[in-house]
Structure 1
C-alpha cells in the first residue's frame, strides 16, 4: 500500500527550500463574491518554472545516487515536467534528455531550453504524452540511463506534496481543496498530505471532460488506458493515470469533477481580463470547477491550486473561439442562398439582429456563388438571441445547416 508520510513530505520541503519558490496563497475577491465563499488561489503559476512540477522533479533527482546521475537522466513531458526536469539538470549539473510530444507549444520548448541550457537535449516525437513516453523509456533502457517519471514515482509525489505542506501552513481552516488531475501526482501528493493534517477537508479532483483518465480509473477500480483523448488541456491530457497515484487518489478523493474544455477557456479569459492572471488550460481547471460546486461551497474556505501558467500566446485565438462556442455566443452555419439577386443582402438586413456580427463568410463554391452554399460564422452579444436568429431564418425559408451540432462537418470546415 502506497502512502505519503508527513515525515517524507517534511524532508522534501527541506530539500526544496533553497530551490523552489514558496508560492502565495491569495484570497481572490471577485471569485469569493461570485461564489459567496472564501476562494483562495495557491499560485503555483508563480513558481520559478511557472508550474509546480519543479518540486517533484528536483526532489527525485536530488535523491538519486551520484553514480546513477552520472549516467544521465531522461524524461517525457508535455512541457511543465520538462521545465522542472531541465531546471534540476542545470542545478545539479547533470545531463538530461527530454522527450516531448511533437504538438508541444513552441513557448514550452523555448522555456525548457532556457532552464536547462547545455545540460539538456530535446527530442520531439509522437502526438501525445503516452506516445513520447514509450520512446523515452526505450531510449532510457538502451542507454542505461534513469527515467524520471512525471507523476508515478513516490519521490515525485512527495515533492508535489509540498504544495499541500505550504497550503496547510498558510491557512489553518480549510473546507475544500480543488486539485487539477493529469497523471495524478499533484493530487496524490498534496491531497494525501492535506487529508493527513486536516481529515475533514474535502479533496476535489478535477479533469478536462475530454481526458477523464482518473474518472474512468475510479469507475473501473484500477487505472485504464483511454483510447482517445482531447489534447487541448495539454498539461492534463493523459491517457492513463499512474498506478501509485491511483492507489493514493482512490483513498483520498471525495469527488472528481469533469470540466468541459469550453468552460476552461472561459475561465482563462476571465482570469486574464479580470485579475491579470495568465494561466494555461490545466492551470484553470480548479477555478473552472467552482461552477459545479457552487451549492456546496457557500460560506466555506476553498483553495484552488493554480497549477501552471505556461500558455502559448498563439493559442489565445483558439481559447477565445472555444469559449464563445461553449457560452452559446458563436455559431457556424452552412446556408444555401436562393437563386435570385439580393439574397445575401436580405440575409444581412432581415436575419441578423442589431447586435449580431458576421465573423466569417466564405462561399464553398468558387463559381456560381450567388446560388451556392456559404459558410457563415455569427457572433452574438447574448446567447438568448440565438432562438430569434433561427426563427428569422425559418420565417424567410432560408435553407441552413448548423455546423456546431454536426461534429464531423464542423471539424472539417471550421
Structure 2
C-alpha cells in the first residue's frame, strides 16, 4: 500500500467519520483552577479519558482501518513501550485482527499487562532488546519476514490524520459554544499529535496560535525546525517517556514547520510540579507527557492573560510507582530539596553541631548516610536537606560552607545524584 504524504483538513474529517463510533469523543472542559491561576479561560481537552487513557488510540485505529482487507488479514505490528502499543492492541481486538507488539525487555510490567488487557488473544507481545532502538530493529525485521503491516507511532500520514481528529472535536465545540480560541498547547514527541492538530486548526481556526511543548531534555522538533533539517539528539532525558524522542519523523517535521507557531521546552522537574498540582487541585492523573501542555502555561503568563486557551492533556498512563520520583524531581526543581557530601569530624556531638549551626528552624534532614572509620579524623556524610522556603537556600549554602569549605553539592552533579540518591 502506498501511503499519502500530504495532509489536509478534509483528510482529518474523513478520519473522524471512520473512528467516531469506536474512539471516545473526549470532553473539552473549562478548568476553573487554571483559569483563575492564569487569569484567562483555560479549557482542557481530556485525552487522558480516552479508552486507552491516551490520544494514541485515534491514530492507531485509523491507520489500521485504512489498510486493505488483505493487509489487515495478514496482521499488523508495531514497536512501542507505551501508549501506541495499547492503541494497537485495542484496535486489534476491536477489528479481530492479529497484532504483534514488540516492547523492550525493560518495559514495566504495568504497561505489558495493559497491552494484554486491551488486546486479549489478538495481541502477541514480544519482549526483545534492552533499548527501544534494539526493539525497533527486531520489529522491522520480523515485519518484513512475515509480511505484516508496520504501524508507525507518528511518521505515518494516516496516524497523523487520526491524531488530528482531536482538533475536529475542538473546532466543533468552539462553533457550538461560539468561542474563538487564541492558543492551543500540545505536546510534541515524534510530532504526530501536533502535526494533525496543527493542520486542522490552521485551516479551520487560523487565528489560533499553535504552541508545541517539548521536554527540555528532548527538544528534537524545535531544534530540527531551527536548523531546517532533522536533528538526531544523541543524549536525551527519557523521564517524559511519552515525548522523549531523539529523532522526529520526516512527515511530522515537514508538517510541523508549517503549522506550529511557537515551540517551548519545559524542564522535567517543572513537569513534575504540574503533575502534582493537577492531582491535588483538579484530581487529574496526568502522565509526564500529558502534563506538558499545562506546564507551558507558566511560560506564557503575560501572553494568555484574558485569552481563551486549550491545553491537550494527551495521556494519563502514569505508573503509581513513579510518584516518589515525581515528587523528588519537583522538590529539586522548586529548590526545596538539596543533597550534599560533607566531611564530619569523627567525634561525639558533631551531628548536633551541624543541626544547630547549619540547619534553619524550618529545615528538615531527609537523608543521612555515614560510616564511621576509626583510622580517620573525619568521615564523609551524604546528607539530604529539605527547605520549607526556597528563599532560605543562600543561607543554607553559607552555613554548609562554613561547616565544611570543601563540601560537594550533589544536585549539580548528575552522575553523583543518580548514583547516590
> Residues 336, 10 of structure 1: CA spacing in aligned structure 2 closer, same or farther, 3 A cutoff?
same
| 1:382 paired residue number | 389
| 1:309 paired residue number | 316
CA-to-partner distance for each residue in 1:98-120, whole Å, 9 max, x for gaps? 11233333322211110001101
Q: RMSD across aligned C-alpha pairs, in angstroms?
A: 1.7
Q: Which moved more, 1:128-137 or 1:57-66?
A: 128-137
> Residues 155, 367 of structure 1: CA spacing in aligned structure 2 closer, same or farther, 3 A cutoff?
farther
8 Å contact from structure 1 (residues 75, 136) kept in 2 = yes
> Residues 365, 206 of structure 1: CA spacing in aligned structure 2 closer, same or farther, 3 A cutoff?
farther
| 1:20 paired residue number | 23
What is the correspondence of 1:138-149 to structure 2 with a 5 Å cutoff?
Answer: 138-149=141-152
Using the alignment, how far apart are the partners of 1:117 and 1:369 within structure 2? 62
Using the alignment, how far apart are the partners of 1:370 and 1:20 within structure 2? 68
Aligned-pair CA distance for 1:126: 3.4
SS in 1 for 2:223: helix
TM-score scaled by length of structure 2: 0.95
Structure 1 segments unaligned to the other structure (5+ residues): none
TM-score scaled by length of structure 1: 0.96
| 2:101 paired residue number | 98
Using the alignment, how far apart are the partners of 1:207 and 1:397 within structure 2? 40
8 Å contact from structure 1 (residues 4, 193) kept in 2 = no
Using the alignment, how far apart are the partners of 1:161 and 1:355 within structure 2? 50
Q: In structure 2, which of residues 138, 153, 156 is the aligned counterpart of residue 153 of structure 1?
A: 156
8 Å contact from structure 2 (residues 9, 199) kept in 1 = no
User: Paired residues, what number?
Assistant: 414
Q: In structure 2, which of residues 298, 307, 326 is the aligned counterpart of residue 291 of structure 1?
A: 298
Matching of residue 411 in structure 1 with residue 418 in structure 2? yes
8 Å contact from structure 1 (residues 106, 312) kept in 2 = no
Aligned-pair CA distance for 1:190: 1.0
Matching of residue 260 in structure 1 with residue 263 in structure 2? no
> Residues 131, 205 of structure 1: CA spacing in aligned structure 2 closer, same or farther, 3 A cutoff?
farther
| 2:224 paired residue number | 217
> Residues 398, 217 of structure 1: CA spacing in aligned structure 2 closer, same or farther, 3 A cutoff?
closer
| 2:285 paired residue number | 278
Aligned-pair CA distance for 1:77: 1.2
Using the alignment, how far apart are the partners of 1:268 and 1:127 within structure 2? 28
8 Å contact from structure 1 (residues 211, 239) kept in 2 = yes
Q: Which moved more, 1:237-246 or 1:358-367?
A: 358-367
8 Å contact from structure 1 (residues 2, 248) kept in 2 = no
Matching of residue 164 in structure 1 with residue 171 in structure 2? no
What is the correspondence of 1:6-405 to structure 2 with a 5 Å cutoff?
Answer: 6-171=9-174, 172-363=179-370, 371-397=378-404, 399-405=406-412
Aligned-pair CA distance for 1:399: 4.6
8 Å contact from structure 1 (residues 2, 247) kept in 2 = no
SS in 2 for 1:361: strand
Structure 2 segments unaligned to the other structure (5+ residues): none
CA-to-partner distance for each residue in 1:188-222, whole Å, 9 max, x for gaps? 00111011101111100010011111012112212
8 Å contact from structure 1 (residues 333, 403) kept in 2 = yes
